[in-house]
Structure 1
Amino acid sequence: MNARERLAAMIRTNPGSMTVWSTVEASTALDAYRDEVLAEAAETLEARGYRLLGDMVRSIVTAGPEEKASASTAPTATPPALEARLAQLLDTIRTRLGKWSTGVVMEVRRSTGGPTQRGTARRDLAELHRRGHLTQHGAGDGRYYTLTRKNDRPRETETGVADGEIQFVGFPPLTLSRWTLTQLAPDYYGKTYMQIGGWLPKSHPAEHRPGGTAQMTYAHLHGHAIPRDLTVQVETKGYGTPGRFMKIQWRKDNA
């Protein structure tokens, strides 16, 4: 019996039947139903290509009691509302250009409408940065973002860093040149992600690399200890050059 069927069985539909459920039983059933709905939502998001959003929703299901209580009482945007807000912010940044900090976003939203909370502005900027639309500058209170332009994209230049080796389940090991290891700013839900970015060999065949959700067996990067057997998100893009740039992201607290 799944959570939905259990709740249906608990609802009184026959006046002649009077089963009394305890507060604990009712609360447990409601929690199980919520987890079931969130898991279904995560699967739907992932099937439609919103893998990071799906991972975020799934993280609520696996969260501890305190995190779930916080999530259930805090006002959160539904994915469609979040996407609409991010699209509006990105359109504004593309129109006005310049430097964008949390304070600037708050000021703009006070005059044009939209949520003016500092945390919301910070997470929205971080999410646009994660998606590659914005370039991050500085750290802490001095952090600001600018619109990512062609010259801001990764360049195929020599850095003197030894090539890294990555292997994913079901694929042969691959080599990443000019790689970087970055801790991204917290996302909308306050989760922190790590990212490996680097260039694949120009002749690397597409069938020898994963896309979307993958299991990274190991990542050998000189001077860094990367946890093994991580569930990651993989994206490979071209920037008008023969080589292709690969980004590998995973949630830091999963390590």
Structure 2
Amino acid sequence: MSQSFILGGTTLFIPGRNLLIAAEDDSTQLTLSNPATQCLHLLIQHHGQVVEREYFFQHVWLNNGAQVTNNNFYQNISLLRRAFKEFGLNDELIITVPKVGIRLSSELEIESRFDASVGPELPVKRVVSAFPEPKERPRRVWPLFAGVSLAGLLGIFLLWRSEFEPRLQDFVPLSQRGECHIYGNADATDYRSHQQFIQQDRLDCKGYPWAYITLYPNFQRMSVLRCRQQYNAWRDNQCITSYYLQEPSHAGT
């Protein structure tokens, strides 16, 4: 059973397929990125309410093992506004609440539905041949079908990896204390705050000796991802995440 939504009576949103489809013309479709899809789904689930930026960060990126910046977040919100406009919806229905988060206007009518198969059904034309099919043809088609399926699965996997890979391998080495290997996010402007946090000696690296600190100036919240081994996007990493609030004199959990 899959869930879909009719937005403003004009647009079908199918989260499970990352799709927006024009209700009156099923040939008009737009495939959203995974983060954009999840952001829109969260806005719909909290229709009319402000969804805090940190809530998006946690549920769209961090829970999937990915890191996120403010720029990346607002780029996805901008993509949703452009998608709304393309489908005839007012892009101002997606409202930014400064320093808080995003709200989906209560003026937008949303109809939720559950279907065994969502999305417009395309007509299937049955073609009857006047000549019998050779019996050997199915054997020849099978390897081709298997190859196409494998290529499709590989493409989906690579798309998923490019969307959710946290790029921890690009983090900058900051310190090594005993068994603890400490890294910082590569897009930080400087690492004074990182080093200050490290000097407080609050990192517990026992069992999780690889620590990845994500911290930005003027951003109160920071995160530390600790892993049992050096992060690798091609394996199942065993990691835990801790969060801290930056204060004038110290960081607290």
Same fold (TM over 0.5): no
Identify the structure with bigger relative contact order (alpha carbons < 8 Å, sequence gap 6+). 2
More helix by share: 1
Kindly name which structure, 1 or 2, has the bigger radius of gyration based on alpha carbons.
2
Q: Normalising TM by the smaller chain, what interval? A: under 0.3
